[in-house]
Amino acid sequence: MEHNKSQRGRPTRQLVYQRLEEAITELRERMGGLPSPTEAEGIWTSIWHQEAHHSTALEGNTLVIQQVEALLAEGRAVGNKELKEYMEVTGYAEAAKWVYGQALEPGDWASEAPLTLTEVRHVHQLALGPMWGVAPHPNAGPLEGPGNFRRHDIQPFPGGMIPPSWVEVDAAMIDWVRSLGAGAGANPVESVATAHGAFERIHPFLDGNGRTGRLLMNLLLVRLGYPPAVIYTRDRNRYLGALRKADSGDPGPLGELIARAVTDNLYRFVVPAVTGLHRLVPLAALATKKQSVFTLRAAIERGRLRGQKGPDGQWRSTRVWVDEYVESKYQRRS
């Protein structure tokens, strides 16, 4: 099926990419780009909790979001789950926090080398270390702990794809890291999808490749100026299906899934939380009892209030523009 046609009313893939790029452009022009974790702790904490929950749940972790929030916010292990499940979430969350901090702070990385093998190993060590301490992989050798590449061969995937032999992993990962420098093409998100699929095909670690791969995916995304993606458990089948298509040389479905996830985070967490006097936000965030959403939209349509229609079809304005409109309205009546 051609990508420029819609199916059952769903936006086409190219339109999904276009909407994301328009939203990111607006974020950069109006808000200066993504806020750092220090500048907007609430944003990153919310995404942090969601990502730690859903990414580990994709691998079978049974903690619910309330238990994850209690564990990460208060250090309380609520419920009677196995210790390794709490440690799995703790490790993933620490790795995600490191990813967010590193991604947004100035560092030695550059567009032609967005991450290093040392960072790949470090992310895996952070994510797997706590759980490994209480429940190490039963087949792990002494050199296959967190942060070390596997020394075992992996069974074929359900779709038939066979990861490389362990003796080829080091060279494959060197090539993978080098390939990331070509990721700033016409469609950066699809380039990230290509990289994510390639990482999962290599499966460089004995365990934790899915979690580590999604963390590295988000490291690449945030270094490119995008919010991180959260792959929700409800999308598990679509995600696995998209990975299989990427294995066959078509990263498009995976790119679209990632783009939708990034856009969702942008409008769910980032835009509302970084609202300021000069920031474009949906009219619902600016409405009052005297100035309803309908009134504000009508003022925009009459040219009385400055506004901008976003890629999602919603009108947006700023607190400053609304205050100017109210003041001018009062002056006209005086």
Closest CA to 276 of 238, 225, 320, 211: 320
Q: What is the pTM of this model?
A: 0.79
Averaged pLDDT for residues 204-231: 94
Q: Is the pLDDT of residue 111 over 80?
A: no
Q: Read off the DSSP letter of residue 5.
A: S
pLDDT for 169-178, tens place per residue?
999 999 999 9
Q: Are 163 and 123 in contact (CB under 8 A)?
A: no
User: Where does residue 4 rank: exposed (0-12), middle (13-18), buried (19+ CB within 10 A)?
Assistant: exposed
pLDDT for 36-76, tens place per residue?
676 566 678 889 999 999 999 999 999 999 999 999 999 99
User: Where does residue 155 rank: exposed (0-12), middle (13-18), buried (19+ CB within 10 A)?
Assistant: exposed
Question: What pLDDT was estimated at residue 280?
Answer: 67
Find the DSSP H helices in 152-273: 169-179, 188-202, 209-223, 236-247, 252-265, 271-273
Mean pLDDT score of the chain, rounded to an integer?
Answer: 87
Closest CA to 136 of 79, 206, 54: 206
pLDDT above 70: percentage of residues in the chain: 86
Question: What pLDDT was estimated at residue 20?
Answer: 92
pLDDT above 90: percentage of residues in the chain: 59
User: Where does residue 167 rank: exposed (0-12), middle (13-18), buried (19+ CB within 10 A)?
Assistant: exposed
Confidence of residue 117 (pLDDT cuts 50, 70, 90): very high
Confidence of residue 184 (pLDDT cuts 50, 70, 90): low
Question: What pLDDT was estimated at residue 2?
Answer: 38
Measure the CA angle with vertex 60, ends 57 and 64; round to 5°. Answer: 45
